[in-house]
């Protein structure tokens, strides 16, 4: 399973990238706003840092304008993935941009039928938002499972990019179900390393080591 990092914070991306944990990056207008950076400038920096796909989102709502924005974003670097919302116009833009050979990530997906349309429109990635479904007491993981079944039934090559990941359990469940990619904030990716028994065990080992009075270096 690929790990994308869901942020526009360069330092956080660099730290995870140095460890080989970053297969790509996703951004959105809210994350760009949070970074306080210019979208073209910060996206270029991310593309230079990371080898994998870097999603940059259009903000137009009509297909022609989305296509124009998508073309401009795609000029930033060869690893740009143009992110379009799952609207009818977004699907039109997906069809045109993917037809031009650009990678397209169709975002804000909340149903399996939406995911089916995105695959037929040639999306490289579909982004179902797990956490936002959980927020309204629906089952985000069931959606990932349904999309996996449907894509496998018909051999769609669109990759399932599980988004709006809020916890380590979300990551584990997505891996079990067979999502192709998860995108998560840096803190969630780092939290995968934590376990209370690891902390407890390490504390006990260090306490015993202290009693030996020995040193390794
Ligand atoms: C994905 O591409 C989105 O940027 C992101 O995962 C949304 O997450 P949120 O629902 O926590 O804002």
ipTM of the predicted structure? Answer: 0.97
Look at residue 155 and tell me if it is in a domain.
Answer: yes
Residues with CB under 6 A from ligand 1: 6, 26, 28, 107, 127, 129, 131-132, 163-164, 183
A 10 A CB-CB count for 65 gives 14
Number of structural domains in the chain: 1
CB 192 within 8 A of CB 171: yes
- The answer to whether residue 125 sits within a structural domain is yes
Q: Is residue 89 part of a domain?
A: yes
Residue 191 lies in a domain: yes
For a pocket test of ligand 1, which of 183, 186, 189 has the largest count of ligand atoms closer than 8 A to its C-beta?
A: 183
pTM above 0.90, yes or no: yes
CATH classification at residue 86? 3.20.20.70
User: Does 38 reside within a domain?
Assistant: yes
Euclidean distance between CA atoms 73 and 70, whole angstroms = 5
How many angstroms separate the first and last alpha carbons of the chain?
Answer: 38
Distance (angstroms) between ligand 1 centre and the Cα of 214 equals 49
- Per-residue pLDDT reduced to its tens digit, 139-183: 999 999 999 999 999 999 999 999 999 999 999 999 999 999 999
Q: How far is the CA of 202 from the centre of ligand 1 (A)?
A: 34
Ligand 1, atom 11, lies closest to the CA of 164
Name, in order, each residue with C-beta under 8 angstroms of 61's C-beta and a sequence gap of 6 or more: 85, 87, 89
For residue 105, the ligand 1 atom closest to its alpha carbon is 2
- Separation CA 81–CA 137 (nearest Å): 31
In the annotation, is 83 catalytic? yes
**Residue 186 is part of which domain span?**
2-212
Active-site residue, selected from the candidate residues 83, 95, 190, 200: 83
Question: How far is residue 127 CA from its own chain's centroid?
Answer: 8
Tell me if 217 is assigned to some domain.
no
| 129 Cα: distance to centroid of ligand 1 (angstroms) | 7
How far is it, in rounded angstroms, from Cα 53 to Cα 47? 8
Structural contact between residues 160 and 151, judged by C-beta atoms closer than 8 angstroms: yes
pLDDT above 70 covers a percentage of the chain that reads 100
**What confidence tens digit (pLDDT) does each residue in 75-117 have?**
999 999 999 999 999 999 999 999 999 999 999 999 999 999 9
Residue 176 to residue 104: CA distance in whole angstroms? 25
């Amino acid at each position: 399973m690929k790990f994308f990092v869901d942020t526009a914070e360069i330092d956080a991306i660099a730290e995870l990238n140095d460890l080989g944990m970053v297969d790509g990056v996703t951004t959105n207008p809210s994350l760009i706003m949070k970074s306080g950076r210019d979208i073209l400038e910060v996206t270029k920096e991310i593309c230079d840092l990371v080898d994998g796909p870097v999603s940059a989102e259009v903000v137009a709502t009509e297909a022609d304008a989305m296509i124009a924005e998508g073309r401009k974003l795609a000029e930033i670097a060869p690893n740009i993935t143009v992110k379009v919302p799952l609207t009818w116009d977004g699907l039109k833009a997906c069809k045109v941009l993917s037809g031009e050979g650009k990678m397209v990530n169709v975002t804000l997906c909340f149903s399996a039928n939406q995911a089916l349309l995105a695959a037929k429109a040639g999306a490289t990635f579909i982004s179902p938002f797990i956490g936002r479904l959980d927020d309204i007491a629906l089952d985000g993981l069931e959606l990932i499972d349904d999309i996996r079944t449907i894509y496998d039934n018909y051999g769609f090559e669109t990759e399932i990019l599980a988004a709006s990941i809020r916890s380590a359990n979300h990551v584990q469940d997505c891996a079990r179900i067979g999502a192709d990619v998860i995108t998560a904030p840096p803190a969630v990716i780092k939290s995968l390393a934590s376990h209370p028994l690891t902390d407890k065990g390490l504390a006990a080992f260090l306490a015993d080591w202290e009693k030996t009075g020995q040193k390794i270096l």
